[in-house]
Structure 1
Amino acid sequence: MSFDLNAISTALNEPNRTVSGVDFSGRSLKLDTEKDAQPIVDAINACPDLHYLTLTGNTLGVDAAKAIAKALARHPELKTARFSDMFTGRMKTEIPPALSALGDGMIEAGARLSHLDLSDNAFGPIGVEGLAKLLQSDVCSQLQELRLNNNGLGITGGRLLAKALSANPRCLRIFVAGRNRLENDGAKALAGVFQSMGTLEEISMPQNGIYHVGITALSEALKHNPGLARLNLNDNTIGPKGAAAIATALPNLKNLKSINFGDCLLKSSGARALAQGFKDNSVLLESLDLSHNEIGREACMDVVDALTALPDSTDRLTRVVLAGNSLGGSTNKQTMKDKLGPSAELSDGEGSEDEYVSGSEDDDDEESEQENSEDSAAEDDQRDTSCDINNSILETTDIVQEVETDVGRFLINPTLANLDKLGANAADVIDVHLQSIRDPESLIQAYVEALCCVCGLAGDSERAADSGGRLFHSLVARARQQWPLANALLRALQLIKSENKDYKIRWRIAPCYQALAKEIDEPYFPTPLRDTLKFFISSKMASLPAEVKDVIEKHPNLYT
């Protein structure tokens, strides 16, 4: 008889093995410097088996993140990183370098994460840039749970996230990305990733401004994830068309246990489509939320009948929420309660029991009309209002053109001849011109574009170079918010793409980098802005035009 000692040891030890790690959650620590981070570094170094690190509820600066990253580089056993709510009070310009540093530490260690939580960090699309290297690396090759709730991703962030996740095969079980304004395009990008995964058990994407177009794309992806058990699309506009699309996926979702479609404007026809899908496919739901969906009483009853068609429904159902719809009179409500048992959560919507007409022929038309108006408004809101030159420089040109027409002409057509018309104090003339812009973010955007128009001529004119330097100094002084300034500069230097299709580069890019090299290390230049620009320049340099790359390589202070 032989014995496998390794197998015996594993069987004896694994069930009782203690999972160890470091937890600094909820301490409200403000960690700016390496010294500030020393208690966390010491705790990490003192933990021989670092399975988890929790930093939730503190605020982390770049230098502190780099110190923690050095400690993480010695722990390949790390499995769980809980980094939610970790940048409170920080400028968005600080977040990408900090995230990148933490990621580099884990990459150097050769860790293999199974859980990553970055929720409640408002890092936006450029934050995803800071995460891209980590998400594409082997550190996330075995990732099972990714939580990115309330990060302000927007459409661009959704696309960047999808690109990062699709770089290598992923086997996520849980994906959470609520309150991110992903909209249709972001949802479609992620749907492509979900379809290739096939391993998802939970998808939670509430409050993302997704309409039936994006919902339909997600529905196609759901068909390829047969193990899906929980689906939360609360407070998106699924509508009747989206509901019909989801119904087509139900034959493939035999493990589906929980659905939350509250506040999704399903209306009666959408509710009926789902009800028919539940009934036809014998979906064994345990929890369903269809609250506040303008569903009529007959359609509500259809949903109840579909849920209770199987004999085990009373024991199986734990929560059925139809509150906020038209449930009919007391007889209807009692019938629903009797069928649903203790799982029922029922209350009428505002108005009479006939408020929502069942099977309205206008459901689809009304949904389409609302989408055209609200989706456009959402898209406009998602864009930085300062992106469009028509909303900044050109808009104000009409206001002041009687006084300073030469400035307006230069900003539209930035040539040396037009710059010379502004005289020896061109920077001051431009500064006065731009002060008529009242919206702070629009002012910053207009200032950045004016700056680039001048700096783009710096290689051909000493006057332009001098004016560019003065404008840099004035811009930093005018910009009360660092995040819009960083965002505008990154777009103007072609380090990130603008979501506005009308955004046009009217200046030469390479001389702008040459001008930036002269200013970036000056004492007046904000450190977070400097770190952010250097981070993006170093990470994007290989993809920039050859002319621009040549300038950057001649000025190492732009990326080191």
Structure 2
Amino acid sequence: MPNVTKVKSYSDALGALEKGAAGIRVRCKYKGNMNAFNKFVDALGSDKICVVLDLRSNQIGPEGGASIGGALKQNNTLTSLNLNFNKIGPEGTARIADALKVNKSLLSLTLGENGIGPDGAKETADALKVNKALLKLDLLNNNIGPEGGIAIGKGLEKNKALQILNLYRNKIGPEGGVALGEALKANGTLQSLNLYYNEIGPKGAERIADALKVNKSLVKLNLRANEIGPVGAKKIADGLEVNSALQEVNLDDNIIGDLGAEHISNALKTNSALQTLTLELNYIGPKGIQRIADALKENSKLQTLNLRWNKIGPGGIAIGEALKHNLTLTNLDMTENNIGDDVAIAIRNALRENKESMLFKVRLGTGGIAAEIEEEIKERARTRFIDALNSDRKAPLNRVRLMFVGQGRAGKSATV
């Protein structure tokens, strides 16, 4: 990534282009600067140096978006373009999409918060069918709806290049989820899909889960806040039982409950690829946590488990028992679960008994954990961290924080 030259006007941006800047971040307002903006865009069309352009929050509107699209048809050096918060709408998006059909250099395009709607999504999807260069597309919070979701799915089905797709908060609904599921069956390049807050429900989750049974490229899937419930969790679990590629799954805030947790735990017993699983805000109680704990005794791949904001309580003792056997978990988060000394003692005892444990980061929830228990857990985890640094055991050891959140010590942390 080149150094980015930050400027406050399009005149300065034009000057930066003329000086051969490889990266430009423009911080100004388009309105009232049309002449300077047009000169800058004209220069961008023939520029041979700049590879990164950040125009976020410049209020360029549909006309400005169209001008940028025109420049992209000629430019063959720009690799990254950020147009977040610019109100370019479907009209500006259409011109940019036209450019994507012929542009061969742009690798990353960010169009978040631009009100592109279903029509803009359809134009973008048509471009995806023929574009062979774009690796990352970010369309967050554009209200593309089910129609837009279906269109993007069809575009993705034919695309052979895109690796990262962010559709956060777009209300694509079950229909959009179904379309993306069908796309994932055919697509062999997408690695990361973010569908956070899209209301896909159990039906959308089912189609995506079906795709997981055959897809071999997707490694990161975010389904947070999609109301998939226990039925959707069962479908996702079925997909995970046979999937051998997915490494990270986010199922936060999906009301899966104990039954959904049971389904996911069954998948954990057989899945050999998943490294990160987050189940925050899912109404998982003692019964569900017992199932997850049982799975941890058998699973040999999972490294990060997020159980924040559930209803675990004393049921967390089961996790402590599981940690006596688990050899791979490094990061455990159980905050906001009414965790007290009984659960902390179980985790401490696990660290005492399991000499091969890789648990380096622990977050325990409110409930009043005794200081001596807290300190022993930290010390034992610190020792494991140092031992791992001095051995050939492989684990994510860049920077480990042990954080304990309890009554009277909220937010207290120690870095080891």
TM-score by shorter chain over 0.5: yes
For residues 342 and 165 of structure 1, the distance between their equivalents in structure 2, rounded to whole angstroms, comes to 35
Q: What SS is found at the alignment partner of 1:24?
A: strand
For residues 182 and 42 of structure 1, the distance between their equivalents in structure 2, rounded to whole angstroms, comes to 36
**Residues matched between the structures, number:** 318
Q: Deviations over 1:133-158 (max 9, x none)?
A: 5334x3x2333322221111111221
> How far does residue 335 in structure 1 lie from its aligned partner after superposition?
4.1
Alignment equivalent of 2:289, drawn from 300, 303, 312: 300
Q: Deviations over 1:277-303 (max 9, x none)?
A: 11123x343322111111121321321
Residue matched to 2:215: 225
Alignment equivalent of 2:307, drawn from 322, 335, 339: 322
Evaluate the alpha carbon distance shift between residue 105 and residue 238 of structure 1 in structure 2; reply closer, same or farther with a 3 A threshold. Answer: closer
For residues 117 and 209 of structure 1, the distance between their equivalents in structure 2, rounded to whole angstroms, comes to 22
Alignment equivalent of 1:287, drawn from 257, 276, 283: 276
> How far does residue 180 in structure 1 lie from its aligned partner after superposition?
0.9
CA contact (8 A) 2:66 2:93 kept: no
Q: What SS is found at the alignment partner of 1:37?
A: helix
What letter matches 1:280 in structure 2? T
Evaluate the alpha carbon distance shift between residue 83 and residue 187 of structure 1 in structure 2; reply closer, same or farther with a 3 A threshold. Answer: same
> How far does residue 351 in structure 1 lie from its aligned partner after superposition?
12
Residue matched to 1:158: 149
TM-score (norm 1): 0.51
Q: Deviations over 1:382-435 (max 9, x none)?
A: xxxxxxxxxxxxxxxxxxxxxxxxxxxxxxxxxxxxxxxxxxxxxxxxxxxxxx
Residue matched to 2:25: 24
Q: What SS is found at the alignment partner of 2:269?
A: helix
What letter matches 1:147 in structure 2? D
1:346 aligns with 2:334: yes
Residue matched to 2:186: 196
> How far does residue 184 in structure 1 lie from its aligned partner after superposition?
0.5
Q: Deviations over 1:435-494 (max 9, x none)?
A: xxxxxxxxxxxxxxxxxxxxxxxxxxxxxxxxxxxxxxxxxxxxxxxxxxxxxxxxxxxx
Evaluate the alpha carbon distance shift between residue 31 and residue 165 of structure 1 in structure 2; reply closer, same or farther with a 3 A threshold. Answer: farther
For residues 333 and 229 of structure 1, the distance between their equivalents in structure 2, rounded to whole angstroms, comes to 26
Structure with larger Rg: 1
Evaluate the alpha carbon distance shift between residue 133 and residue 279 of structure 1 in structure 2; reply closer, same or farther with a 3 A threshold. Answer: closer
TM-score (norm 2): 0.67
Residue matched to 2:76: 76
Q: What SS is found at the alignment partner of 2:109?
A: strand
For residues 297 and 114 of structure 2, the distance between their equivalents in structure 1, rounded to whole angstroms, comes to 42
> How far does residue 262 in structure 1 lie from its aligned partner after superposition?
0.8
Residue matched to 1:520: none
What letter matches 2:311 in structure 1? S
CA contact (8 A) 1:44 1:71 kept: yes
> How far does residue 324 in structure 1 lie from its aligned partner after superposition?
1.9
Alignment equivalent of 1:117, drawn from 94, 110, 114: 110
Q: Deviations over 1:216-251 (max 9, x none)?
A: 011112223223221110111122211111122124
CA contact (8 A) 1:301 1:336 kept: no
Evaluate the alpha carbon distance shift between residue 111 and residue 278 of structure 1 in structure 2; reply closer, same or farther with a 3 A threshold. Answer: same
Q: Compare the two structures and name the one with the higher helix fraction.
A: 1
CA-based RMSD of the aligned residues comes to: 3.1
What letter matches 1:145 in structure 2? K
Where do 5+ consecutive residues of structure 1 fail to align? 1-18, 88-93, 353-560
For residues 329 and 241 of structure 2, the distance between their equivalents in structure 1, rounded to whole angstroms, comes to 26
CA contact (8 A) 1:96 1:126 kept: yes
Identity %: 26
> How far does residue 267 in structure 1 lie from its aligned partner after superposition?
1.0
Q: What SS is found at the alignment partner of 2:74?
A: coil
CA contact (8 A) 1:232 1:261 kept: yes
For residues 258 and 165 of structure 1, the distance between their equivalents in structure 2, rounded to whole angstroms, comes to 21
What letter matches 2:76 in structure 1? P
Residue matched to 2:387: none
1:38-437 aligned at under 5 Å gives the runs 38=38, 40-41=40-41, 44=44, 47-87=47-87, 95-107=89-101, 110-136=103-129, 138=130, 140-166=131-157, 168-281=158-271, 283-310=272-299, 317=303, 319-329=304-314, 331-332=317-318, 334-335=320-321, 343-349=331-337
What letter matches 1:113 in structure 2? L
What letter matches 2:313 in structure 1? G
Q: What SS is found at the alignment partner of 1:48?
A: coil
Q: What SS is found at the alignment partner of 1:288?
A: strand
Q: What SS is found at the alignment partner of 2:305?
A: strand
Evaluate the alpha carbon distance shift between residue 143 and residue 280 of structure 1 in structure 2; reply closer, same or farther with a 3 A threshold. Answer: same
> How far does residue 272 in structure 1 lie from its aligned partner after superposition?
0.9
For residues 284 and 70 of structure 1, the distance between their equivalents in structure 2, rounded to whole angstroms, comes to 44
> How far does residue 193 in structure 1 lie from its aligned partner after superposition?
1.6
Q: What SS is found at the alignment partner of 1:146?
A: strand
What letter matches 1:119 in structure 2? G
> How far does residue 77 in structure 1 lie from its aligned partner after superposition?
3.7
For residues 46 and 23 of structure 2, the distance between their equivalents in structure 1, rounded to whole angstroms, comes to 9
For residues 161 and 341 of structure 1, the distance between their equivalents in structure 2, rounded to whole angstroms, comes to 36
Q: Compare the two structures and name the one with the higher strand fraction.
A: 2
CA contact (8 A) 2:228 2:254 kept: yes
CA contact (8 A) 1:36 1:64 kept: no
CA contact (8 A) 1:327 1:347 kept: no
> How far does residue 113 in structure 1 lie from its aligned partner after superposition?
3.5
What letter matches 2:210 in structure 1? E
What letter matches 1:256 in structure 2? L
Task: Name whichever of 42-51 and 201-210 sits farther off.
Answer: 42-51
What letter matches 1:272 in structure 2? E
Q: Deviations over 1:114-173 (max 9, x none)?
A: 32222222222132244355334x3x233332222111111122123234444x443432
For residues 20 and 220 of structure 1, the distance between their equivalents in structure 2, rounded to whole angstroms, comes to 47
For residues 290 and 91 of structure 2, the distance between their equivalents in structure 1, rounded to whole angstroms, comes to 54
> How far does residue 252 in structure 1 lie from its aligned partner after superposition?
3.7
For residues 251 and 30 of structure 1, the distance between their equivalents in structure 2, rounded to whole angstroms, comes to 52
CA contact (8 A) 1:292 1:323 kept: yes
